[in-house]
Structure formats: C-alpha cells, structure tokens
Structure 1
Amino acid sequence: MPFISQIQRQSDYAYFPSDTPIVIDNGASYFRIGWAGENEPRVIFRNIVQRPRHKGTGETVTIVGDHDPALLRYFDCTRSGPRSAFDNNVVYQFEIMEYILDFGFDRLGANGSQIDHPVLITECVCNPVHSRSKMSELLFETYGVPSVAFGVDAAFSYKYNQRHGICNEDGLAICPGFNTTHVIPFVAGEPVYKGCTRTNIGGYHVTDYLKQLLSLKYPHHMARFTWEKVEDLKMEHCYIAPTYASETRLFQKGTEEAEDKTRVWQLPWVPPPVEEAPSEEEIARKAALRERQGQRLRDMAEAKRSSRINELENELRGLEFLLLQLEQVQAHEIPNFLRETGYHSRQEIEASAHKVTLSLRKAKGEPKADQSEAEDKTDSSSEKYPLISIPDEMLTPEQIKEKRKQIFLKTTSDGRQRAKQKRLEEESERERRNQLDEERRLENPELYLEQTRARYKELSERVEQRKRLKTNGNQTNGNSGGVGRGERLSAAQRERMRLLTTAAFDRGKGEDTFGARDEDWQLYKLMSKDNDDDDDGPEPDEVELARISSRLQEIDRTFVPKSEAETSQPGSEVLKSRPLTQEDFKIVLGIERFRCPEVLFNPNLVGIGQAGVDEMAGVSIRRLPEKDEELEKRLTSSILMTGGSCLYPGMCERLEAGIRMIRPCGAPIKIVRALDPILDAWRGASAYAASAQFPQQTFTRMDYFEKGEDWIRGYKFRYTL
C-alpha cells in the first residue's frame, strides 16, 4: 500500500527479540508507537487518514498523519478529506484504524503483516466491550499478535508520575484530552472506575472555537486559518483567565493591561509597487499614438461614409432612370413593366426615391428641409387618416367608428413624436451642461470638485427627504406619521379619485353601469391629461442627481455613490475606499486568548450542556462507593493534571480556585502538572510493559479464540505490580 509521509522508517526492528512488547498510545489526536523500556516513542503522527486520487494516473494513495502540503497539488482531495477512527474517544471506524496500524508498524520497521511481539495499547476509561473486542480481533487475526493488553492512558501517566514522586497513591487524575475530559480517582494506586466522570469537551473544541472566532473577525483571511495554524496559535497564545468575567471587563475597558495581553500575528504582506509619474517624453509619445489611432479611425469612417454616399447616389440615379422609362411606356404596358422591375405602382417608386434622397442628405450632412418635411408629414397624415377632418354628420355609423380609431392612432403617433423630440432636447441640454461643467473644471479643478460634491450632497438629501415624505406623509399640525393614503397622493392622483367617485355615485343607485356608453370614455381623457404632472416619473432633482453622480465617477476615482456604499459589505468596503495596507494583514488576538480555553470550564459557550473541569472533580469524589472524609482529603491533596489541554498558563490556579469553592473550608487542595502531560502516558506504559510481571496482565491469542468476547468483558488490568 503506497504511503505518503515525511516520517522515516526505523531500521532496527530485527534486533529486538520477540518477547519485547510494542507499546502503542492510541490517542484521538496523536498515535505514538515504540518499544517497551525506552523513554521516547519511535514514531509519532496525527491519528487521521486521507485517501486522495492522483490527478494524472488516478491511483489511490494513503496519507496517514502529517504529510508534505506541497505534494497535495498532485492529488484530488475534494472527495476525500481527513478522517478519524474515533467517535469522541472511542474507536469505532476499524477500517481507518487498520490503515493507521499498518502505517505505524511499517514505520516501526516491521516486514510484512505478521507482528510477533506482544502489544500494550491504550484505550479510554470504561471502553465499551464491543470496541475492545473489535480491536482484539484486528490485532489477533490481521497481524497475528501473540498477546495483547489494554490500559488507560491517564492511569499510566498517573503511575509514571507517582514513581517520580509527583503525586501520591491516593489522588485524582484530571485528563483534558482531545475530544473528552476525564477525572479518575485513585485509591491505593488503582483507579476506581465507579467514581470516574467524563465530559465531551476537549482540545478539539478549543481549536474549533478559536477558528470560528477568527473567521468571523477576519472573513477576508479565512483561507489563512487552517487547522494546523490555529492549533499553533492556540498553544502559543491562549491562557486561562483567573476570573472570566473580570478578564472580559478588562478588555472591554481597553486598559493598558489589556493592551499588554494583546498579541498580533502579522500575515505576509507585500507593499504595492509605487507608480512613477510618466515623463514628458512618455506623455508626448502616448499623445502621438492616440492621435495616430484617432486619425486612422477617422479615415476609416470617412471611407465608409464615401462608400455609402456612392451607393445611395447610384440607387437614386437608378430610380430616376426607372421613372423616366415609366413615362415613355404606354398605358397598357405599364403593369408588365412594373412586374419586371419588382414594383407595384409609380407611387411606390417615388416613395423609394424620396427615402433614398433623405438618406443621401443625412449621409452628406446637409440640413433637413423642415418645412417640406412638415408639409410631407401633413400630406401623409391627411392621406393616412382621411376621416379626421370630416364632420360626424356627414359620416355613417361605421365611418364614425373608423374615425374614432384613426383619432386614437393619430394621437398615439403624435405623442410618440413629442416624446422623441423631448428626449432629443433633454440629451442636447445634458450635453451642453456637461460641456459647461468641463470648461469650469479645466479653469479650477479643485474648486469644481468641491462644488460638485457639495451639490451632490444637497441633491441627495433633498431626494431622500422627498422619499420619506412620500412614504410617511407630510407633517401637518405638528404631528408626524400616521397619515392615510389620501394625504400621500399628489394633486393629479386626488383629481382622478374624485372623478371616479363622482362618476360612480352619479351613474345610478345599486347598479354600476359605468363604461357602458361612449361618453364615459371622455372621463379617461380628463384623467390622463395630467400625466406629465404626475410624480410617477423621475423628478428633476433625481435626474440632476444621476447626472452629477455619473460626472463625479468620471473625475473622482474615490467617489462611491450612496446606493453602492449602503449595499456594500463591510469586508469589501475597505477594498473600494482605499488600497490594502500592512495593518489590514494583522491578526489581533485579544479576548480570544482566554475566551476559547474557557470552554473547558464553561462548555455552555459552545452549546454543550455539561459540567466543567472543576465541577467534575467534585462529582467524581461524591461518586466514590465509600464515604470517608480522610479519603476525600487525601484525594484533593494530590490532584494530577495530564493531557495536552492542561498546558495553558493559569490552568492550575483556576482549577484550584474552582475546586476550593465546592469543597469544605480548610480542605487541603494541591494541584500539580505532570512532568510531560503529552508523553507521560506512553512512558508509563513503556515502563509497565518492561517489567517482569507484564506477561501476567496480557491475554493470548489462544485465550481469545477459546473464551471469546465474554472473557474480554471480565478482563481487568492491574496497574500496581
């Protein structure tokens, strides 16, 4: 099985005799394996497995524990994340556990899958029989181990420190681990499992909480907060506060003591390159280049215009020649002649010639003949709508209906023409004002920019005030808000409502026949005559505000309209307003330093409704089967802390203060930390496995096959030899 790892393989496996036990500290965070009697484990790696595929060959590889991040660019890790064999502190994924044991034995130097050495492996307190049975099955049937012994890691650490005089035979072992925290009472050197307590809180939750807080505080640097980096920050900077509430108030006030306790992590930052002002030669060169490009575009446009003029002149000459030929053709031959040319009548040819003439004038840039065009439009409109000028008395009912339809079509066409003319006038007015603004800007750019910003501010406040009044109503008689819809309507809208109400009341009693007669449609003409005065369209202030906003965006790169500034996110606002500086790449660790490890004493901070470490000690003492005050005093006078999560500064003082609050006044309390909270469990197991009495505490493969799982249920390991 291919492995990817930086851990070197041991080469002295064959020099150890077969009766030398292999010691394994199978922790939820790290896996440690070595030989009995040695003071240090041979191989240490993280207890996780990842199995990605190679991007080129598609081969699946196994990554166990630590690996080289540079190698991962060759593998697809999107579908295979790091996986652990543990659920809290109990092994339940034995397929992953097999990968870990394979890698551990391989790095220890074993050749093949057969292990002919006894194995001492650690487990959690009160490990379920099913988990122990599956582990025995894996060691016996897969690796052929001759004998196996199971022991609790915290108990081995306590016994190791007891031999060095750190703690007594009677005492408490508090082990805040990776996923869980245990408290084990020891009486006469043996653990009393009936008094054990466990909380599902540990170093994993501290790291995860710190990672969440930093990601929320610095969302634009989330990619920097990897699990390994946050773990390093936690072990380097976090501490236990003597009193959480007082420490929090200290940081809220922002005193000098809080500033001294604040740490800063500087992320890699490269200053942006300074752009030097272009020289006069460079400016002249760019100006000449732009002039050449502009001249080339003008030449292309002129060539295209000339070609268009030639095409239109040729088409016009052809239509004029066609009209001359049509005059020379006899009357009975005109239909055949028109059929050959593709036209249906002489009027169609003349209309095409007139259209081509107008296009030719436009292409040459000649002024339009407004009067002639107006006459043509009048003539065409009279031809298109012949019934408009005829009185109704001279028309039949069908012709009257047709006349009304022509009036409606003509009114609509004239309205579109007026709207188009109005748009053209507005555009020309806007261009004229922009030209005047540009002249003012060239005279004094700084004064122009200041005046433009002031004008923008004034117009925006006026528009916002008008919108508020439109939404909430005008303030009348000193009272604001709470007005009805009628008070928020404009004059044109109120007039429409009055007309509709009057028509509804005048029409009759009990029956609504409005709209049944043609005269009722005159009411809609009265309602629509004030369309231009309605406030549904944009106000002049809004139009002017939009123009000034676009103008500011052209001349001021730092200008951000209010609509964009209000909808922009806080994280991206810095990027829009100014370039990033070195201060933006500083990660400040203030209150997070003590807030994250506080979950060991207050699991409610991360949503776990269980007791803290100090309360667990009192619960463990009360669970002892024998109530003896002298025994309780001996237990509290020798409290050992072991495990990686007890390395925070201030842990002993905070734990002592918490236990003193739940114990009687004057009770002796002594809390000590293990010599090495991380490796003492493996060292204690190594010393135990090197003793001559160790084979008596193991059970062999023959016992497992003969007695089965029932014998494992009654298996009890003794730590005092």
Structure 2
Amino acid sequence: MVWGPAAIRPQRQTDYRFFPSTTPIVIDNGSSHFRIGWAGESDPRITFRNIVQRPRHRSTGETVTMVGDQDPALMKYFDCTRSSCRSPFDSNVVYQFDTMEYILDYGFERLGVDGSEVDHPILMTECVYNPVSSRCRMSELLFETYGVPSIAFGVDSAFSYKYNQHHGFCNEDGFTICTGLSASHVIPFVSGEPVFGACCRTNVGGYNITEYLRQLLSLKYPYHMSNITFEKSEDLKTEHCYVALNYAEELQLFQDGTRKAEEKYRYWQLPWIPPPQEEMPSEEEIARKAALREKQGQRLREMAAAKKISKIAELEKELNGLDFLLRQLENVEEGDIPSFLSDTKYHSKQEVASAVGKVSQILRKAKGEPAEVEDSYEPSLEEKYPLINIPDNMLTPDQLKEKKKQIFMKTTTEGRLRAKQRHIDEKLQRDRENEQEEEKRIENPELYLEKLHAKYKEISEKLGQRKRMKLNGNGGNGNNNTPGSVGRGERLNAAQKERMRLLTTAAYDRGKGEDTFGAKDEDWQLYKLMSKDNDDDERDLDEAELSRITLRLQTIDPNFAAISDALSTDPPRFQPHTADDFKIVLGVERFRCPEILFQPCMVGFSQAGLDEMIGVSLRRLDTKNTDLKDRICNSILVTGGGCLFPGICPRLEVGIRPQLRFLSPLKVTLASNPTLDAWRGAALCAASSQFHIQTFTKHDYYEKGEDWVRQYQFKYDLATSEPV
C-alpha cells in the first residue's frame, strides 16, 4: 500500500517504545478530524482529516491510498477524476470500516507503532447513543486487526465538558452544546455525569453551514463557480461568518444600506491579470511598419498592373475578332446573315457593330484614353428576337426551339426593363418627397421635428400593440384573461378571424346544413379569399416607414441618436474585465449561513435549533426540582468545531432566556478550545489511576457478547467510579 506524498505527511513519532504498555492511547475519532496521542499529554501527537482517497498515478497507473488532506501542488501527478474523498462516517456514526481501517493504519503508523500489534489500552471517542452494531464492529476491528489489550469508549462532548469543569469553566450541573461536522447535541450533566436520556440532537452542523455558503455564493456569482469550492467556502466561513444577535434586525440593517452595514461587508479578490496596456510604438517601429505597408502596396500595384495588361489583351483580342466578323458580313447577302450568325450570340450586323463600339470604349477606358462619344445603335426587341413574330408553321423544329428561347428571353428582358424603370420612378418619388420634407423643415424646424417625433411614436406604438395582440390576444372579450391563459380565438387578428369565418361557414353557405363543399368548381375560390391577408403587408409598410423616420431623426436630431443607442436591443459590446468583475462580496451571507444552527428550516430540516434544544432537554429531565434546573442553566458550555462563530454565546442567551423562569440564572460559556477539548478531556480521564477499571478486554467482549456492549457506559467521574 502506498501512502500520499511524504512531504505533507505528519511527522512520524520516534518515542513509541519508551512508553510502558500500561499507558493508554487516546483517539478522538471525529467525523471531521482524527486525533491520536498519549494519555496525560496536553495535545495530540497526530492530527489529520478523517478522509481517504485512492487516485491513480498519471505516469505509472498505480493506485495509491491517500489519508487526510494532500498538497494541491503534488496532486497534479495523480488522476482524481475516478476517485472521490471517502469518509468512514454517515452523519456522525462510523459505518465504513474498510475506510476506517486505512485511517487507523495511518494513525498508528504515524504514532510510531512498529508492525501491526498495538500493546496499549485504547480510549476512543464516539457520538451520543452510538449504535451497538457500530461499537461492536469497532471493537472487533481493534481486537482482531491490531491486537489491542483493552478498549474504552466515551462521548466526545462529555470529555470536553469534564475537561472544562476540571479547569473551572463550568460546574458539575450544567449543559453542553456540541456542534460537530454533521450534527449538534445538547447533553445535560447532573452531579458530574451526563444524563443521556434527556439529550437532544439536530442533524445540522458545520458541513451544512459551509455547503449553504457555497450554494449562496454560486448562485450569486455563477461565472465563478469553479473558484467557489467547498474548501474555499470553509475558509471563508471560518474567517468572516458570525452569528447575529437579532437576525431580522441584521437583515433590515443590510437592506437599508447604512454606513454601518457597509463596514460589515467583506471582499474576496479572485486572481485577475489586468489586460496589457497598449504602448505607443517607437519611431523605428513606425518606420518599419510604413516600409512594410509600402512594400505590400507596391506588390498590389504590380498585381493590378499585370491584371490590367491581361484585361487589355483580352479586349484587343475580342475587338479584333469582332472586326474580322464585321468584315466577313460585308460579303454576305442580307438574307443569309441570320444563318451566318447562328453560331454566335449576335443576330444582325447592327448588333455586331454595336458590340464593336462598346468594346472599343471599354478598351479606351482600360488604357486610360478619353472615350469617344458615338451614337450606339440599340436594336429593338423585334430586331433582337426576329423569330417571335414568324408563325410556327413556317419554322423548322430547330427554329421552333429557338423561338421558345427567344420568347423567354424577351419576357425576361421586358420584366427587367420594367423593374428598372420602376426603381427609377421610386427613386425620383423619394427624391421629390425628401425635397418637400426638407422644405418643410427649413420653413419651421421645431414644428417639423415635433411632428416627426409624434409620427415615430405613433408607428412604434402601433407595431408594439400589433405584436402584443399577436402574442397575448386583444383582451377585448371581457374575460380578463392573463397573457398566459388566452385562448386561440383571442390571439387571432382580424384577417385570420375572417379566414376562420369563411372556413367554418363554407359547408352551410347554401343554408341546407349539408356538407357539399367542393361539389362545384366555384367552391374552391374560397381559398383565394382566405389567402387575402393584408396584415403582413401593412406591417411591412409600417416597419419600412418606421425605419425611414428613424434614419431621418438620427440625421437631424442628435439627441434622438443618443436615446436610440440607449434603448437599443443589440447586445452590448465587449468590455474588458476589471478587478471588480473578479471580486466576491460577502454581505448577508456572513450571518445568514450560521443562522441555520438556530433555524434549521432555512435548509429544509424540520428540527429544533440550538436554543430550542435546551428547552426540549429541560422538559426531558422530568424533574420538578427548580433549583436543579437553575443550576444546570447557570453552566452551559458551548463546544465543538462548528461553534467557532463570534456572537454565538450572546445569541444563545437571547434564545434560551424566554424558555426559563423569570429571573432564572443563565450563563453560556465558550469552551477553552472547542476543537481540542474533547481529546484533552479524554486524555485527562485516561491518565487517571482508575482508568483500567473502565476498559473491557477481548476476553470480556467474546464472553459477554453484544448485550454487555450495549449496557457498557463510561463513568466520567473517575473518583467515584466502580468497575463495570
């Protein structure tokens, strides 16, 4: 088995053989961290996260086992895509003992154990009301795999309370509020011993706070989700989160946006590289670029000159061919000219002469010579297409084909000429309208601009209303329908309604009530009526007019151009990122996330909060001794890694006070070290001279069975304890 990179592993202890076999080993097996050390010492020797990961090495493909956190700089050599961090815990109960064995192997190896035998008693922490099956399998693992001589189990929060009691932070009668990674407990203590029958539990802990913070930031900054990892959220929670004394008032403070709220904002700047600034080029660089442009320009000019020479050669060749054809036509009789020109694209001698003139002008223009004005003869369509007017019975089959071709070409030419003339007429009409509008503008500019704006507004509203009616209906039937609940009939415009009317009444147009549609040819004329929809044409005309007015206003009114740019629906242009785009702002998230300890319903848990759990535990004590309840509430200890938030003790006092009698004593104290006090209390109990009577051996386990393990309970007040 290969462990993680040696550079980040905890240092291996070398004094294991110097401890006698009667010295217990203390293990705080928390769902977040694993701590192991010797009884009587102030701090654990080895501490690491209680997780296991088994990635593959990228170069060798070998599977390695990594326990605890790993150095991110070394993780690039391993493929972690198919392996995730595994914990032996489900909530705060051990259930994956294969993973637990890896963790124990690593802990004992780092402590200095040689081989697989551990010849020291073990004191291990567990959760409140740990299931008997989990305790039995843990005992079997320690006895069978490691050969441990004896074992003892105790509740971590009870050890923390006893440690703080030993140092005078709390009394014999009191409460301990322990907030762990995935659960929180409240345990009352009477005469120094925990009363587990009156304890209370909520499945909310530090993990839920971190995950809630990660979700809030991911929703707030979706473009930075890859940077908002669970580990970074854990760091942000530890550094910046706090518990509000009054949650509603704190929310109102941030909503008002006062200066006091601004002072509570915290900022996390993500890595950001500013875009490079454009530097002014030097004179040498400018000269170099100018020379390069000149070289490229010279090359383009040479290419253009070569292309011009090639074009002139082609035109001269074409002109010589036309001249030769024209000289040949002088020796051809007039009636034989059409047959002589059948293989060319020309039909008469005049067309050839006209082509000679056009090519000559193009050639002179290409050579840069002044063009000569010549009267070019343009043949008529009858002369250009002579076969059109000849009857079909006088033509050969080939001439009939040519006649069809000439008819098609004549029709196309006429249509092109009509379209050209129509465009010329429209252009002239637009020029006259522009001249008239310009005269109106010069005559009264203010009135002209006012009317133009009014017309722009009218057409815009008309188009917008038509679009709304098309999508949501006109709403004129008095049903008060919402836009999402209109029917098909409400979404139809006038032309569509007319088509629907024609279609639905077609079968009854004769008043007979019989469906005889289609029996007569005139019935099919209905579709011609249905196809008449002028709404689209009207919309196109309105849009064209709106575009013309918009262009006109942008030309004569500079303020309109600014407004149109501001109201434009075009996507914004790309703006370079700044440092503010990579800044994560922590505002209400600072106190909103820890608030789930007092209001678990915020994350979907229908359970009691920490302050309410005190009242539940008091009712479960089932005693009418008010003095005892007052003594217990006068010594409330807050411990666990999930309670390290500023303001948690005052908030607990505010929440617990309404559940007590009037003027009852109340004191909430934070543990001296909420994360280490559980191990220190266990080490203190394991160092007691009467610890050996609290343990049970492998022989006891196999002789007495699971029922005895179920009844086993550690005595925390060792001065008065008796053998179990």
- Relative to the length of structure 1, the TM-score reads 0.74
Which residue does the alignment assign to 1:630?
627
2:645 paired with 1:648: yes
Alpha-carbon distance in structure 2 between the residues aligned to 1:111 and 1:547:
92
Partner SS, residue 539 of structure 1 = helix
Aligned position for 2:476: 482
Match of 2:706 in 1: 709
In structure 2, the residue matched to 1:115 is 118
Structure 1 position 580, deviation (Å): 3.1
AA in 2 matched with 1:482:
G
Structure 2 partner of 1:3: 4
Say if 2:40 and 2:686, in contact at 8 Å, map to a contact too: yes
Q: Which residue of 2 aligns with 1:676?
A: 673
What do residues 179-198 of structure 1 show as CA deviations (whole Å, max 9, x unaligned)? 11000111121111111110
Alpha-carbon distance in structure 2 between the residues aligned to 1:278 and 1:613: 67
Contact 2:463 2:542 in 1 (8 A): no
Q: Distance in 2 between matches of 1:421 and 1:98?
A: 94
Counterpart AA for 1:150: F
Amino acid of the residue matched to residue 66 of structure 2? I
Question: For the residues of structure 2 that align with 1:652 and 1:51, how far apart are their CA atoms?
Answer: 41
Aligned to 2:231: 228
2:76 equivalent in structure 1? 73
Picking from 583, 587, 598, the partner of 2:584 is 587
In the TM superposition, residue 265 of structure 1 has moved relative to its aligned partner by 3.2
Tell me how large the CA RMSD over aligned residues is.
5.3
Q: Does 1:598 align with 2:595?
A: yes
Cα gap change, 1:312/1:98 in structure 2, threshold over 3 Å: closer, same or farther? farther
The aligned counterpart of 1:694 is 691
Residue 156 of structure 1 aligns with an amino acid whose one-letter code is: F
- C-alpha distance after superposition, 1:123-154 (max 9, x if no partner): 10000111112212222222222222111100
Cα gap change, 1:286/1:537 in structure 2, threshold over 3 Å: closer, same or farther? farther
Name structure 2 gaps, 5 residues minimum: 329-339, 394-402, 431-451, 479-488, 719-724
Distance 2:468 2:189 in 1: 74
Deviation at 1:202, TM superposition (A): 0.9
- Residue 380 of structure 1 deviates from its aligned partner by 8.1
Whichever residue aligns with residue 261 of structure 1, its letter is K
**Cα contact 2:154–2:713 (8 A) shared by 1:** no
- How far residue 307 of structure 1 moved from its aligned partner, in angstroms, is 5.7
Greater Cα offset, 685-694 or 417-426: 417-426
User: Contact 2:502/2:526 (CA < 8 Å) preserved in 1?
Assistant: no
Question: Could you tell me how far 1:315 is from its partner in structure 2?
Answer: 10
What letter is aligned with 1:39?
A: S
Note the alpha carbon deviations across 1:273-331, whole angstroms, 9 max, x for none: 33234467655653553353344345446646766887898899999999999xxxxxx
Distance 1:312 1:183, change over 3 A: farther
1:563 aligns with 2:569: yes
Q: Secondary structure in 2 aligned to 1:469?
A: helix
Residue 177 of structure 1 is aligned with which of 158, 180, 193? Answer: 180
Query: Any residues of structure 2 matched to 1:538-549 within 5 Å, and which?
Result: 539-542=544-547
Bigger drift between 274-283 and 180-189 goes to 274-283
State the match for 1:465 in structure 2: 461
Pick closer, same or farther for the CA change 1:271–1:378 going to 2, 3 Å.
farther
CA contact (8 A) 2:388 2:407 kept: no
Partner of residue 197, structure 1: 200
Counterpart-to-counterpart distance in 1, 2:527 and 2:90: 82
- Is 1:100 paired with 2:92? no
Q: Give 1:235 deviation, angstroms.
A: 1.9
- Alpha-carbon contact 1:471-1:488 (below 8 Å) kept: no
Shift of 1:244: 0.9
Tell me if structure 2 keeps the 8 A contact 1:267–1:587: yes
Name 1:619's counterpart in structure 2: 616
Question: Which secondary structure does the structure 2 equivalent of 1:535 belong to?
Answer: helix
SS in 2 for 1:19: coil
Alpha carbons of 1:178 and 1:420: their partners in 2 closer, same or farther (altered >3 Å)? Answer: farther
- Letter aligned with residue 191 of structure 1: P
Taking the aligned partners of 1:363 and 1:140, their CA distance within structure 2 comes to 108
**Contact 1:514-1:520 at 8 Å conserved across structures:** no
Q: How many Å apart are 1:360 and its aligned residue?
A: 9.2
1:443 alignment partner in structure 2? none
User: 580-589 or 129-138: which moved more?
Assistant: 580-589
Alpha carbons 1:119, 1:149 under 8 Å: kept: yes
- The residue type equivalent to 1:600 in the other structure is L
User: Where do 1:262-411 residues align within 5 Å?
Assistant: 262-278=265-281, 282-283=285-286, 285-297=288-300, 299-300=302-303, 303=306, 347=342
Larger deviation, residues 166-175 vs 510-519: 510-519
Distance 1:412 1:528 in 2: 29
- Bigger shift: residues 527-536 or 233-242: 527-536
Q: Shift of the alpha carbon at 1:172?
A: 1.0
Contact preservation (8 Å) 1:184, 1:196:
yes
CA distance in 2, matches of 1:499, 1:350: 57
Cα distance in 1 for residues equivalent to 2:552 and 2:286: 31
1:129–1:523: structure 2 CA closer, same or farther, 3 Å change rule? closer
* Mapped partners of 2:683, 2:426: distance in 1: 92
Label 1:616 to 1:259 Cα distance change in 2 as closer, same or farther (>3 A). same
The Cα of 1:545 is off from its aligned counterpart by: 6.7
- 2:220 is aligned with 1:217: yes
**Residues 671, 543 of structure 1: alpha-carbon distance in 2 compared, 3 angstrom cutoff:** same
CA distance in 1, matches of 2:567, 2:288: 35
Distance (Å, rounded) in 2 between the aligned partners of 1:285 and 1:583 = 39
Greater CA deviation, 204-213 or 31-40?
204-213
Whichever residue aligns with residue 168 of structure 1, its letter is N
Give the SS at the match of 1:78. Answer: coil
- Kindly tell me: are residues 425 and 65 of structure 1, through their superposed partners in 2, closer, same or farther at Cα, counting changes over 3 Å? farther
Q: Distance in 1 between matches of 2:152 and 2:600?
A: 34
Per the TM alignment, residue 486 of structure 1 is displaced from its structure 2 partner at its CA by 11
The 3-state SS of whatever aligns with 1:155 is helix
Question: Which residues of 2 match residues 29-108 of structure 1 at below 5 A?
Answer: 29-108=32-111
- The aligned residue for residue 540 of structure 2 is 535
Q: Deviations over 1:361-388 (max 9, x none)?
A: 9997889x9x99986977788869999x
SS at match of 2:616: helix
Q: Distance in 1 between matches of 2:123 and 2:290?
A: 83
Code of the residue aligned with 2:661 in structure 1: it is: P
Measure the CA separation in 2 of the matches of 1:361 and 1:133: 111
Query: Helix, strand or coil: the match of 1:691?
Result: coil
Give the equivalent residue in structure 1 for 2:521: 516
Counterparts of 1:51 and 1:426, CA distance in 2? 79
Q: Report the CA distance shift for 1:526/1:70 in structure 2 as closer, same or farther (over 3 A).
A: closer
Q: 1:577 to 1:508 in 2, by over 3 A?
A: same
| 1:157–1:488 Cα change, 3 Å | closer
Contact kept? 1:122, 1:153, Cα under 8 Å: yes
8 Å contact from structure 2 (residues 615, 659) kept in 1: yes
Moved more, 162-171 or 610-619: 162-171
Q: Could you report, residue by residue, the CA deviation over 1:404-446 in whole angstroms, capped at 9, with x for unpaired residues?
A: 9x9999989977897899999999xx9xxxxxxxxxxxxxxxx
5+ residue gaps in structure 1? 326-344, 391-402, 431-455, 475-479, 566-572
Deviation at 1:158, TM superposition (A): 0.8
Identify if the C-alpha distance between structure 1 residues 171 and 532 changes in structure 2 by more than 3 Å, giving closer, same or farther. Answer: closer
> Where does residue 134 of structure 1 map in the other structure?
137
Tell me the secondary structure at the aligned position of residue 23 of structure 1: strand
Q: Is the 8 A contact 1:636 1:669 kept in 2?
A: yes
